[in-house]
Amino acid sequence: MMTRHPTPEAQAAEIRRVLDYGVRRSVAQELERLLGRLESGAVRTLTVVQRAWVLDQLDRFEPQYQNLVSSGKVSAVSTVVVGGGPRPLKPPGVA
């Protein structure tokens, strides 16, 4: 979740985390440019658009959601309670 006014250190840490994943060269070059400007003091903070892009890159490697089926927390078969109790759903026309 994006905070309203993150510190330059926090933004630099986010950029370093993205770089640690080994992104494409063109993306890495742009991230290194942004990181250099933050660390040198040329800019005090990233713009809203720049930070959104950095967080989008980070989300590709660290998604903020978890697939409950693939993590085994829920089964892939849904059940419906009808009259006598739960039963597995079947496609139409399958007996």
Tell me how far apart the 2 most distant CA atoms of the chain are, in Å. Answer: 69
Bridge partners (DSSP) listed for residue 82: 85
Domain assignment of residue 88, yes or no: no
Round to whole Å and give the CA distance between 83 and 72: 28
pTM of the model: 0.62
Determine the average pLDDT of the residues in 9-23. 93
According to the per-residue pLDDT averaged within each range, which of 11-15, 60-64, 83-87 is highest? 11-15
Is 19 a domain residue? yes
Q: Give the position of tokens 């926090």.
A: 10
Non-local (6+) Cβ contacts of 36 within 8 A are 42
Give the residues across from 86 on adjacent strands: 81
Q: Is residue 94 part of a domain?
A: no
Domain region containing 33: 8-61
> What's the number of domains the chain is made of?
1
